[in-house]
Amino acid sequence: MESQRQKKIASVLQRDLVEVLQGAATQGGMKGILISVTKVNVTVDLSIAKVYLSIFPIARGVELLAGIRSNAPLIKHELSQRTKHQLRRMPQLIFSIDDSLEYIDQIDKSLKRTENPIDNPDLLEKRKKV
């Protein structure tokens, strides 16, 4: 269960991270790249913030995540400048890809396919007889 303080810090970080990351993407000449911060979880001791990113196009996600992770100290510094009147200490930032939208899209595509395992149970690997 998150405390009110954790939620408040997470929302401040989420708002400012969006601006920092989008600003870096446009300055870095990455036109057509959309980076959104889907969720921020802050630990109880407020020392670590887990940041979940949704990157479009998905194909560039791994490459961009590696770049973001390598620039984490710079991002942390930029955030601390923006939040210096709200936070005493900036938590360590841990970046991850939020693949929930991709997962939902895969489920949706699976349900719309003509090869529906509910109609044809032979399509399921577990049910195939060897």
Cα dihedral 55/57/58/59 (nearest 10): -130
Report which secondary-structure segment, H or E, holds 34.
strand 34-42
Chain-wide mean pLDDT for the chain? Answer: 84
- Does residue 18 form part of some domain? yes
> How open is the CA angle 44-47-52, to the nearest 5 degrees?
85
- Does residue 19 form part of some domain? yes
What is the total count of domains within the chain?
1
Average pLDDT over residues 4-11: 92
- Does residue 105 form part of some domain? no
Cα dihedral 10/12/13/16 (nearest 10): 160
- Does residue 48 form part of some domain? yes
pTM, full prediction: 0.75
- Does residue 128 form part of some domain? no
For residue 22, what are the domain limits?
A: 4-99
Which tokens is 63 given?
């490459």
Per-residue pLDDT reduced to its tens digit, 69-117 = 998 999 999 999 998 888 888 999 999 998 777 777 777 877 776 666 6
Residue 30 carries which DSSP code?
Answer: -
How far apart, in Å, are the Cα atoms of 115 and each of 83, 102, 122, 123? Answer: 52, 20, 10, 8
Q: Quick check: 119 pLDDT over 80?
A: no
CATH number at residue 89: 3.30.300.20
